[in-house]
Structure 1
Amino acid sequence: MSSIFWIIVAGAILTFLTRIGGHLVLSRFERIHPRVEVALNAVPAAVLTTLVAPAAATADWRGLVALAFAGLISLRFNALTMFLAGAAMIILLRQLS
């Protein structure tokens, strides 16, 4: 097996253990402090920002158009619809040009 395969397997195992570890730690508490809950609710937005910001900074016009389109979609629809619409737009723009 190639080393890339084992890197992927190790990453999957570490991701799984991290998720299980977080669940085990939080399940020990009867009630979560409101500050911790607010911080945990902010994690998805922080992760999305770390993925989108570098891509937006280095994107060509097609990427920026798709990003703006996804932003407009996000004002009206849920996150899954926004991701799908943004992906469809970038695929369409790349195929047309």
Structure 2
Amino acid sequence: MAAASYACRVAGYFLMAWVPITDRVQAALKAIPLGVMIGIVLPSAVSGKVPELVGLAVVGVAMKLVGNDVVAALLGAAAVAACRWMGL
């Protein structure tokens, strides 16, 4: 799996050398991280379980207050862990 993952990354790097970077391609490349995050977060949000919803709320508040996505993600993970530890 590591070799396959590495091969995909390297192939993408070398294949993108042949793609002209137009405004449309650049906009699509900038949208990829948001699409990946939505794909990760949406199933948890739709499940409606209390720990995941609390974690999402904590991440939202932390992003507003701190503005650092790593800190917000760590606080959200800690909130989910605390809720699960409390049996929610």
Could you say whether these structures have the same fold, taking a TM-score greater than 0.5 normalized by the shorter chain as the test? yes
Could you state the TM-score of these two structures normalised by the residue count of structure 1?
0.76
Please list every run of 5 or more consecutive structure 1 residues that lacks an aligned counterpart in the other structure. Answer: 1-8
Offset of residue 28 of structure 1: 3.8
Aligned counterpart for 1:64 among listed residues 47, 53, 63: 53
User: What's the counterpart of residue 89 of structure 1?
Assistant: 79
Query: 1:26 Cα shift?
Result: 1.9
Q: Which has the higher contact order (CA 8 A, sep 6+)?
A: 2
TM-score when normalising by structure 2:
0.82
Q: How many residues align?
A: 86
SS of the aligned residue for 1:92 comes to helix
Q: How does 1:5-84 map to 2 (within 5 A)?
A: 9=1, 12-28=2-18, 32-75=21-64, 76-84=66-74
- DSSP 3-state at the match of 2:40: helix
